[in-house]
A and B are shown apart, each in its own frame.
Chain A
Amino acid sequence: DADVTQTPRNRITKTGKRIMLECSQTKGHDRMYWYRQDPGLGLRLIYYSFDVKDINKGEISDGYSVSRQAQAKFSLSLESAIPNQTALYFCATSDFGYEQFFGPGTRLTVL
């Protein structure tokens, strides 16, 4: 089984809908991250968490929220999706803060 899983893998939704993307990991890492990837822009950090009580904003947190339900679970929510949030979203984990391990990604399309 994969160490970092993301659900769903693909999602198409409409403007204004609430969307939740979920990430689970079995690596036992404390640190978890959410990134989005847009063509030609690379990956940009949305939110990160050092533990269940520690949530931090990244470079592009506006329009997003997160929840760290447990050490192994970190969810990303779009309260009211808009078309420019169409992107590939990646979850990642790390141990003491060095190498990051990425999930397979969720492709989100907002119509």
Chain B
Amino acid sequence: AQSVTQPDIHITVSEGASLELRCNYSYGATPYLFWYVQSPGQGLQLLLKYFSGDTLVQGIKGFEAEFKRSQSSFNLRKPSVHWSDAAEYFCAVGAYSGGGADGLTFGKGTHLIIQP
């Protein structure tokens, strides 16, 4: 069975500083990987996804992530954070059978706090 680990429960970053959120996955085949963001009281918004091809993927709001198969990682980065980036971030891996997606397995999330 697949699994996702987000080692950092909370991260505090100063506004304007760079950000990296860690994600490690376990999956027996080629993974389909996602990063979602959840603002307080809101639903989930997709930031970016990796299916195949270029291992550095660009997403919305200036985020990017790099897939490293050798490290089973899919870390999320942003060069300069804004106060509006404060939110909960979830990494997820997709499991797929012949009929399609069996559903996503999520990490437990990383809560990002932005200091002025």
Contact = CB atoms under 8 A, between A and B. Distances in A.
Contact of A50 (B49, B99, B105): B99
Contacts, number: 66
A102 interface: yes
A31 B100 contact: yes
A42 B99 contact: no
B106 A42 contact: yes
Interface string A35-46: 100001111110
B100 A100 contact: no
Interface residues of A, number: 28
Interface stretch (A12-20, A68-76, A91-99): A91-99
Interface in A36-67: 40-45, 48, 50, 54, 56, 58-59
Contacts of B56: none
A58 B44 contact: no
Given A42-B90, A42-B109, A98 B32 contact: yes
Contact of B101 (A43, A100, A102, A105): A100
B46 A99 contact: yes
B44 A54 contact: no
B43 A104 contact: yes
Interface in B62-113: 90, 92, 94, 96, 99-109
Given A42-B107, A42-B109, A90-B44, A97 B101 contact: yes
A94 B100 CA distance: 9
Interface string A79-98: 00000000000100010111
Interface of B: 4, 9, 32, 34, 36, 42-44, 46, 49, 51, 90, 92, 94, 96, 99-109
